[in-house]
């Protein structure tokens, strides 16, 4: 996101004027040498150099709030999987949530990837902020599945993301291709065609979870096209009011569709043929879900608080919440907690599971956890890069 930080990291306030657009702004945290002004004293500070006692750059509470709330939805939806069978209402809520929670994350990720270019500093940031966490946590989850689930034959392969690590692999691919999308005349239309083709091509294979990478691609490209004024438009009062009947209608439709629709459509990790559906249904569902996800994401973003809240600071640690909550959900599943407590399928149990998942991911987003994991989620790794990678 600026200087290509990933979507989980806390981001600066979106620029209000054209001159401060990310494309014209130096990425945060990167020193840019500027030519000193003529006749300036030798010891004069460089232009735009912050004063010694200048306060830190403000963060945008809106996007921190959005990232925290989205990561809560991700964790809650994952926690519903073991207990929603047999509950039509839970399955319907799962379908509504899965329609937009990852698209919302991906759209925000695309929005903050607008300034990405293959410069040494930004490539370094892409490697340390996305590729390294992917390698570390893909390995960790594979080992966890092997030993916690007593599956000694479980493979450790960086080419086949397991569970939730697919998003890091996808983010790497999307961001490295950003210059392509920025130069196309109709990038969103092209990305939708690619997503449609991926939904009806069973021979793509599972390497790097490419079916999901390609089917979610339009949301990232959509984010690349957005500007600050679009988010200001979404936050208008009338949009918030329209979001209420929108979510109500989505819930009613999902309740009707729950026993009739396969969840694979929402996961976007399979082709239509893989789900034993007609090949043309892949195109129809891809376009329909893109429209539904976009509308629900707008409704979600309309209700995200704009002012600082008690959870705003947690928006800086959502990478920890995302990457760690899977150990809690899978650990509870491997330990047989859901199997031994069948009452968790009841409404009371579902509420309890939701509260526990919310509390768990909230704790995982706190500053102490972020500091403890910084060595793998935000490693410096200057030793691995040439000195000029510190420059734009």
Q: What percent of the chain is helix, strand and coil (3-state, nearest 5)?
A: 65, 0, 35
pLDDT score, position 154: 80
Bridge partners of 329?
none
CB contact burial 281-298 (16+ within 10 A = b; e otherwise): bbbebbeebbebbbbbbb
pLDDT score, position 352: 95
How far is residue 74's CA from residue 97's CA, in Å, rounded to a whole number? Answer: 8
Kindly tell me if the per-residue pLDDT of 141 is higher than 50.
Answer: yes
What are the structure tokens assigned to 180, written together?
């392509």
Kindly tell me if the per-residue pLDDT of 160 is higher than 70.
Answer: yes
Percent over 70 (pLDDT), the chain: 84
DSSP 35-60: PPPTT--TTPPPTTPPPTTPPPPPB-
What are the structure tokens assigned to 305, written together?
């608080």
Mean pLDDT lowest for which of 7-16, 169-178, 325-334? 7-16
Q: What is the DSSP letter of 384?
A: G
Q: Which helix (H) or strand (E) holds 239?
A: helix 237-257
pLDDT score, position 108: 94
pLDDT band at 390 (very low <50, low <70, confident <90, very high): low
Burial of 133 (0-12, 13-18, 19+ CB in 10 A): buried
pLDDT (tens digit per residue) in 332-386: 999 999 988 888 888 899 999 999 999 999 999 999 999 999 999 989 888 888 8
Helix (H, G, I), strand (E, B) or coil at 12: strand
Kindly tell me if the per-residue pLDDT of 8 is higher than 70.
Answer: no
pLDDT (tens digit per residue) in 263-299: 999 999 899 999 999 999 999 999 999 999 999 999 9
Average pLDDT over the chain reads 85
How far is residue 7's CA from residue 380's CA, in Å, rounded to a whole number? Answer: 18
For the entire predicted model, the pTM comes to 0.84
Mean pLDDT lowest for which of 1-15, 107-121, 190-204, 376-390? 1-15
Beta strands in 83-169 (DSSP E): none
How far is residue 283's CA from residue 200's CA, in Å, rounded to a whole number? Answer: 7
Looking at per-residue pLDDT, the higher value among 13 and 232 belongs to 232
pLDDT score, position 173: 96
Looking at per-residue pLDDT, the higher value among 148 and 47 belongs to 148
pLDDT score, position 327: 95
Kindly tell me if the per-residue pLDDT of 159 is higher than 60.
Answer: yes
**Closest Cα to residue 103, out of 364, 300, 264, 240?**
300
DSSP 302-328: HTS-SS--TTGGGGGGHHHHHHHHHHH
pLDDT (tens digit per residue) in 224-261: 999 999 999 999 999 999 999 999 999 999 999 999 99
Q: Residue ranges of the domains in the chain?
A: 61-378
pLDDT (tens digit per residue) in 65-85: 999 999 999 999 999 999 888
């Amino acid at each position: 996101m600026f200087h290509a930080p990933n979507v989980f990291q806390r981001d600066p306030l979106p620029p209000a004027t054209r001159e401060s657009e990310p494309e014209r702004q130096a990425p945060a945290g990167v020193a840019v040498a500027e030519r000193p002004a003529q006749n300036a004293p030798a010891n004069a500070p460089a232009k735009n150099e912050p004063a010694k006692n200048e306060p830190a750059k403000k963060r945008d509470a809106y996007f921190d709030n959005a990232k925290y709330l989205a990561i809560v939805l991700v964790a809650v939806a994952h926690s519903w999987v073991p207990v929603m069978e047999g509950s039509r209402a839970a399955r319907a809520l799962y379908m509504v949530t899965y329609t937009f929670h990852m698209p919302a994350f991906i759209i925000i990720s695309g929005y903050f990837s607008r300034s990405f270019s293959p410069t040494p500093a930004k490539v370094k940031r892409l490697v340390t902020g996305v590729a390294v966490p992917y390698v570390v946590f893909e390995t960790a989850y594979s080992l966890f599945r092997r030993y916690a689930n007593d599956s000694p034959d479980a493979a450790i392969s960086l080419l086949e993301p397991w569970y939730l690590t697919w998003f890091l692999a996808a983010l790497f691919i999307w961001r490295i291709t950003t210059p392509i999308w920025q130069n196309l005349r109709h990038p969103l239309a092209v990305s939708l065609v690619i997503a449609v083709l991926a939904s009806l091509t069973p021979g793509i294979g599972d390497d790097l979870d490419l079916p999901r990478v390609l089917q979610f691609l339009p949301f990232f490209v959509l984010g690349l096209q957005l500007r600050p004024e679009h988010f200001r438009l979404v936050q208008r009062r009338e949009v918030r009011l329209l979001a209420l009947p929108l979510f109500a209608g989505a819930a009613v439709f999902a309740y009707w569709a729950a026993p009739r629709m396969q969840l694979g459509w929402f996961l976007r990790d399979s082709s239509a043929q893989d789900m034993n559906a007609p090949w043309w249904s892949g195109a129809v569902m891809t376009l329909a879900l893109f429209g539904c996800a976009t509308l629900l994401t707008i409704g979600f973003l309309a209700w995200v608080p704009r002012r600082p809240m008690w959870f705003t600071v947690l928006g800086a640690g959502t990478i920890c919440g995302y990457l760690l909550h899977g150990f809690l959900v899978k650990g509870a599943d491997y330990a047989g907690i859901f199997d031994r407590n069948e009452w968790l399928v009841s409404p009371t149990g579902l509420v309890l599971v939701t509260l526990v998942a919310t509390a768990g991911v909230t704790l995982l987003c706190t500053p102490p956890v972020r500091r403890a994991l910084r060595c793998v989620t935000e490693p410096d790794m200057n030793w691995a890069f040439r000195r000029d990678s510190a420059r734009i």
